[in-house]
Amino acid sequence: MTAAIEVAGLWLAYPGADTAALRDVAFSVQRGELMLIAGPSGAGKSTLCSCLRGLVPNTIVAETRGQVKVAGRQVLGPEPVPSSDDVALVLQDAEAQIIGMSVEDDLAFGPENYGVPAEEIRARISEVLDLVGLRGLEKRDTYALSGGQKQRLAIASALMIRPAILILDEPTSELDPVGKAQVLEIISNLRTETSTTVVIVEHEIGRFASVADTMLLLDHGAVAAYGNPASLVSDIELFERVGGERPPPAAELARRMRDARLVECPSYGLDLGRALADIERELESHGSCSR
Amino acid sequence: MPVGYSIYRETGSNIHRIDPRTKLAWLLTFFVLSLCSNNPAVLAVVFLAELALARIARLKFRDLQAYLFLSLWLTILSTVIWPAYIHQGAYLGRVWFVDVTSDGLLYGVAMGLRITIMIVAAAEWMLTTSPQWLTAGLLKLGLPYRAGLALSTAIRFVPFLNAERLTITEAQRARCAAVGSGGPVRRVVNSAPVLVPLFSRAFLTAQSLSIALDARGLSSGGQRSSLINLRLSKADKAALAAAVLIVAAAIAFRVLGYGVLVKGEF
Amino acid sequence: MAPAVASFTENVISVRDLTFSYPGTAVPILRKVNLEVRRGEFIALLGSNGAGKTTLAKHFNGLHCPTSGQVLLHGRPTTELGLRELAKIVGYCYQNPDHQIFSSSVENEVKFGPRNLGLTGEALASRVSEALAVVGMTEFAASNPFVLGRGRRQLLAVASILAMDPELLVVDEPTTGLDLSGAQQIMRVLGRWHEEGRTMVVITHDMDLVVEYTTRCVVMADGQIIDDGPTQEVLRHNDTMRAAGLEEPAVVTISDRLSRFGSARCKSIADVVADVGAHMEAEHAGRL
């Protein structure tokens, strides 16, 4: 079975830049999987998202090498590649990606560009608004939406073209915790209820790593780590070296406890509950041993 | 300045449902009608017809309030000023250094009514046509798609830029910037702390917007569909025909000299 | 920079029965809010978006005037004070630095605020260089602010307010859009500023930073203050935290779970480990 996304030897430099924005990036994402991309500011995460969406070199001018295959098509090349409705991209700035004056108009923009008939568009509108929890707001003016609602509208608009692959570039960074939780719920539902492949860039590793199937950590344009999220997030040295991300509390606690020779527990990734239970048990037994 | 995208208010009337192209034709018809006569009685009839249309469109006084008061002001001004230039008709007396005649006053009233008709026609048009339908109408009339998109996107970002302007002004006031005070020259000099961030925000948003437009398939190159499908109904066609006839008749009457109170003046 | 001359009243800000709705609207954004801000505190203003945090904070420097009730700055109503008097005492740093930055150089940007307050010449120059030193941007003095990254622009915005030497600093979401190192850089600057004797009010959603830096938390929901007290206590009031849509920071959970092994109310995981280590050693030594 071919992977939904296959990246090999990806190298990218913006015109006039001293260093490459992406250096020898390689990874793959299987159909229906959720990949989490993390890394400090400037690591190249947004650039990578633009490549996956096929915006390079059509919209964004850059020198590139390597291969990016998305939904079976090569999307990276010296020649412009026609944009497809297999892939959708949600950007960080919700305001700049809302084009329509009303919710309905904005949702229609994407499918209109691909010639989807009007009745089909209307059918998809109510479906998609249910998915993001904005039911009944079809006629609402977009400027009157809250920040969280705008971001959810952006996700809904992306889903209107029924993409096989959905890419989200830091969708929650400008939202409050309630907004972040809502986006997480939408993404989790997408993963469990549909076969959409999802790639999400996030700083809140703890929140999303638990639902991700695979994880990529970028540092200065290169892959610092790639693999299973649970094992990746328990590697504290990795986080300290790369910087820019807060390690999950369970991992940090376990490592510091081990360094202080208080316990000998294994590494923990995301499960703070289990980490605390094991640490408590060990500390108690140490206490009783000394008697 | 509307807080939202436009002053459009949905009332569910028949006028709201009419094709935007027909409404545009009728807007122009009212403009032509107002220019074809300088008799206040004729113009008053045209104005009453406008108000009748407002009634059919289920508009309220509050919707037109600001425009009617503006028009009233301008009419009063016009009535006072024109007698200084028009000296035909019955002499009524001397006010200040002006010889006031009946025709002078009536012409002033007529000019005021002319402006009133134009202002109220434009207002009624904007109140009954949503910006989306307006853009769709213009596209159907032959406006290129990207121009229509530019128009609707510009409208879409007006409230956003207005909100940004308010936030920026506030932020600079917190730094004790003297924005919005002083004489006209001072104000221009002091506006840099608001204009520069506003422009930079606009540019940054435009950059992200251009990426978003392509990410959502603007340059996909295929055939484009539309959620709004405009079709001229029988009623639309009748209304358009009526508009053409009325314009032709009005121009004819003017050329023949009817509806003209003050000869020799436009 | 030394703090301003000591004032008579203990409280920098007194908010009394403050109700506020935007002129022309009926819906109250703030409903009978009461708050005392004492000198030297580092207050976190918490709550979900729409709770009224920013609206409340904007009353401190007179950007908003109460619809009813009073906001007093050192005992005087903000409505009676001029813009300059208010700006001299209360600095307000906006969330998005791009809403403030407009100059051709970093140095000119930082000069703007103090110059508006009437500083000139030597005094102005030294104020600017001190502010740039505090945020660590002395080497960027001649740079064009628009080519700097988001983190540096944020530091520049903070510097331009610090240069006005306010006694009370309100910072709105300083870490949004920054990665961890950017966030830590800003908070370190604010922490040092606070240690020199100033009062800080920070509006934020980052609970880890709240535990690490703040001394007091004011929790808001629906235009009212639903909890107000020392940070370590407020964060443990589960009902109000939940009502405000806030999550308990991990270090609080860890601290409490391991409290019988010696962890006191800690600010960071490193502190927890240090406490537990010290406690276990003491126990062990006690038994020998």
Contact B197 C100 (CB under 8 A): yes
Instruction: Tell me what pLDDT residue A200 has.
Output: 96
Spell out which residues of chain A touch residue C246, defining contact as CB-CB under 8 Å: 177
Copy the structure tokens of residue B173. 């006031």
Residue pLDDT, tens place only, C12-68: 999 999 999 998 888 999 999 999 999 999 999 999 888 999 999 999 999 999 999
Site from C148, C154, C179, C275 to mutate, A interface, most A CB atoms within 10 angstroms? C179
CB A238 within 8 A of CB A225: yes
Mean pLDDT of A187-207: 89
In angstroms, what separates the C-alpha of C178 from chain A's closest C-alpha? 7
Same domain for B157 and B111, yes or no, is no
Average model confidence (pLDDT) across chain C: 91
Long-range contact set of residues A188-192: C-beta below 8 Å, sequence gap at least 24: A189/A131, A190/A131, A190/A166, A191/A32, A191/A34
- Same domain for B93 and B211: no
User: Tens digit of pLDDT for each residue in C137-195?
Assistant: 999 999 999 999 888 999 999 999 999 999 999 999 999 888 888 899 999 999 999 99
B28 and B89, same structural domain?
yes
Q: Does a structural domain hold residue B228?
A: no
Residue A210 sits at the vertex; the CA angle it makes with C254 and A215, to the nearest 5 degrees, is 120
Cβ of A91 within 8 Å of Cβ of B216? The answer is: no
Is the backbone peptide bond immediately before A249 cis, with ω within 30 degrees of 0? no
Residues B205 and B237 in one domain: no
Q: Which residues of C touch B174 (CB under 8 A)?
A: 61, 63, 87, 91-92, 94, 161
For residue B222, is it within any domain?
A: no
pTM, rounded to two decimals: 0.89
Residue B241 lies in a domain: yes
Same domain, B205 and B251: no
B200 in contact with C at a CB cutoff of 8 Å? yes
**Residues B211 and B237 occupy one common structural domain:** no
Q: What is the ipTM of this complex?
A: 0.89
* Residue C145: DSSP 8-state: G
Substitution target from A14, A101, A138, A150 for chain B, most B beta carbons within 10 A = A101
**Optimal mutation site among C58, C85, C90, C100, interface B, most CBs of chain B within 10 A:** C100
Question: Structurally, how many domains does chain B consist of?
Answer: 2
Whether C7 shows a pLDDT value over 70: the answer reads no
Model confidence at A1, in pLDDT bands (50, 70, 90)? low
Check if the beta carbon of residue A184 is closer than 8 Å to that of residue A34: no
C131 and C162 in contact (C-beta within 8 Å)?
yes
Residue A287 burial (CB count, 10 A): 16
Q: What is the pLDDT of residue A285?
A: 85
Q: Indicate if B172 and B207 belong to the same structural domain.
A: yes
Return the H-helix or E-strand segment holding C121: helix C121-134
Contact residues, chain A, for B214 at CB < 8 Å: 55, 58-59, 83
All residues of chain B having their beta carbon less than 8 Å from the beta carbon of residue C102 are 192-193, 195-197, 200
In chain C, which among 21-60 make CB contacts under 8 A with chain A? Answer: 48-50
What is the mean predicted confidence (pLDDT) over A174-182?
A: 87
Q: Which of C249, C250, C96 is nearest to C176 (CA)?
A: C96
Query: Domain containing B154: what range?
Result: 143-216
The pLDDT of residue B120 is: 96
Identify from A95, A98, A139, A169 which residue to disrupt to test chain B contact, counting B C-beta atoms within 10 A and taking the largest count.
A95
Task: Identify the pLDDT of residue B242.
Answer: 94
- Domain assignment present for residue B124? The answer is yes
User: Are B19 and B125 members of one domain?
Assistant: yes
Q: Is residue B195 domain-resident?
A: yes
Chain A residues lying within 8 Å of C270, measured CB to CB = 256
> Touching check for B259 and chain C: CB below 8 Å?
no
> CA-CA distance, A268 to A4, in Å (whole number)?
30
CA distance linking residue A269 with residue A254, whole number of Å? 9
Residues B63 and B104 reside in one and the same domain:
yes
Q: Is 90 exceeded by the pLDDT of residue A265?
A: no
* B151 in the same domain as B124: no
Buried b (16+ CB within 10 A) or exposed e, A202-220: bbbbbbbbbbbbbbbbbbb
Of B176, B201, B204, the CB nearest to C83: B176
Indicate the pLDDT class of residue A176, thresholds 50, 70 and 90: confident
**Shortest CA distance from C109: residue in chain B:** B193
What is the pLDDT at residue B180? 66
Q: How far apart are CA A220 and CA A20, in angstroms?
A: 9
With beta carbons less than 8 A apart as the criterion, state whether C11 and C40 touch. Answer: no
Q: Which residues of C16-28 are buried (b: 16+ CB within 10 A; e: fewer)?
A: eebebbeeeeeeb
Residue C185's closest chain A neighbor by CA? A244
3-state helix, strand, coil in chain C (%, to 5): 45, 20, 35
Those chains having 3 or more beta-carbon pairs within 8 angstroms of chain B are A, C
Residues of chain C contacting A249 with CB distance shorter than 8 Å: 250-251, 254, 269
Bridge partners, B158 (sequence order): none
Q: Is residue B66 part of a domain?
A: yes
Question: Which chain B residues are Cβ-neighbours of A173 within 8 angstroms?
Answer: none
- Helix (H) / strand (E) element for A165: namely strand A165-169
Say yes or no: B29 and B116 in one domain.
yes
Looking at the structure, tell me whether residues B158 and B123 fall in a common domain: no
The alpha carbons of chain A give a radius of gyration, in whole angstroms, of 21
In whole numbers, what is the pLDDT of chain A averaged over residues?
89
* Surface-to-core class of residue C118, CB atoms within 10 Å of its CB (0-12 exposed, 13-18 middle, 19+ buried): exposed
- Contact present, C114 and C79 (Cβ < 8 Å): no
From B153, B212, B220, residue closest to A113, measured CB to CB: B220
Q: Tell me, yes or no, if C177 comes closer than 8 A to chain A by beta carbon.
A: yes
In angstroms, the first-to-last Cα distance of chain B is 32
Residue A149's CB is within 10 A of a number of other CB atoms, namely 21
| DSSP per-residue string spanning C223-238 | TEEEEEEEHHHHTT-H
Q: Kindly state whether residue B136 falls inside one of the protein's structural domains.
A: no
What tens-digit pLDDT sequence spans chain B (266 residues)? 456 888 888 888 888 889 999 999 999 999 999 999 988 999 999 999 999 999 999 999 999 999 999 999 999 999 999 988 888 888 888 888 888 888 889 999 999 999 999 999 999 999 999 999 999 999 999 999 999 999 999 999 999 999 999 999 999 999 998 876 677 887 887 888 999 999 999 999 999 999 999 999 898 878 889 998 888 999 899 999 999 999 999 999 988 888 788 777 78
Whether B24 is in a domain gets the answer yes
Q: What is the pLDDT of residue B99?
A: 85
Of A59, A83, A105, nearest to B132 by CB-CB distance is A105
Nearest CA in chain A to B163: A143
- pLDDT-wise least confident of A155-159, A232-236, C124-128, C150-154: A232-236
Tell me the chain A residues in contact with residue C176 when contact means C-beta distances shorter than 8 Å.
Answer: 173-174
